[in-house]
Amino acid sequence: MLADVIAIRLERLRADHADAVLAFERANREYFARSVPDRGDAYFHRFAERHAALLAEQDAGICHFHLVVDEGGALLGRVNLVDVEHGEAELGYRIGERAAGRGVATAAVLEVCRLAAAEYGLSALTARTTLDNAASMAVLRRTGFAAVGEIAIGDRPGVRFRRGLTG
């Protein structure tokens, strides 16, 4: 039986999110490493620099970073649009272990697709995941993405997805 679905909202990444994001990434590091390549120790040691760089990319319009939070403001995950160019971007997301299997990824992806079209003027998104990440593939399919090709993600086989957006 699935746990109750959690209501979420997206918050655009800000400087004052740094401590919460770092704590979230540390708390979920082992969980994420089961399905995606680990960020490595340098990510955590140089987090403040990395956070500032992400904010600069966002200010330049190259990327759009969002936190996925519950009704009480607790950080559940992240959903991002990166490499914005020619009306398209690549979608990436990660949902923490305590919120997994509760509809959070699906809700976050649907909301960022809405924002991508309505707020950021994008016409299409791409995404990718490893073949062994069935949960991520299911989220992408549920949210209107279609598989468009096989790829390698590090040393693992993967799939590339695409979704057109409407305003």
* Residue 135 within a domain: yes
The tokens of 97 are what? 């272990």
Task: Look up the domain containing 42 and give its range.
Answer: 8-164
Q: How far apart are CA 100 and CA 76, in angstroms?
A: 9
Query: Which residues of the chain have a pLDDT value below 50?
Result: 1-2
* Residue 2 within a domain: no
* Residue 44 within a domain: yes
Position 1 scores a pLDDT of: 37
CA proximity to 143, closest of 119, 130, 116, 156:
116
Position 124 scores a pLDDT of: 98
Position 156 scores a pLDDT of: 85
Position 34 scores a pLDDT of: 79
Q: How far apart are CA 75 and CA 21, in angstroms?
A: 8
Position 77 scores a pLDDT of: 96
* Residue 3 within a domain: no
Q: How far apart are CA 49 and CA 42, in angstroms?
A: 11
Q: 73: left (phi > 0), else alpha (psi -120 to 50), else beta?
A: left
Surface-to-core class of residue 123, CB atoms within 10 Å of its CB (0-12 exposed, 13-18 middle, 19+ buried): middle
The tokens of 46 are what? 């140089």
Q: How far apart are CA 130 and CA 49, in angstroms?
A: 28
Strand ranges in the chain using DSSP code E only, listed in sequence order: 8-12, 64-70, 75-85, 88-95, 124-130, 146-153, 156-164
The total number of structural domains in the chain stands at 1
Give the bridge partners for 77, in sequence order.
68, 95
Position 32 scores a pLDDT of: 86
* Residue 1 within a domain: no
Cβ neighbors of 36 (< 8 A, separation 6 or more) are: 94, 130, 133
CATH number at residue 32: 3.40.630.30
- Strand pairing category for 88-95 and 75-85: antiparallel
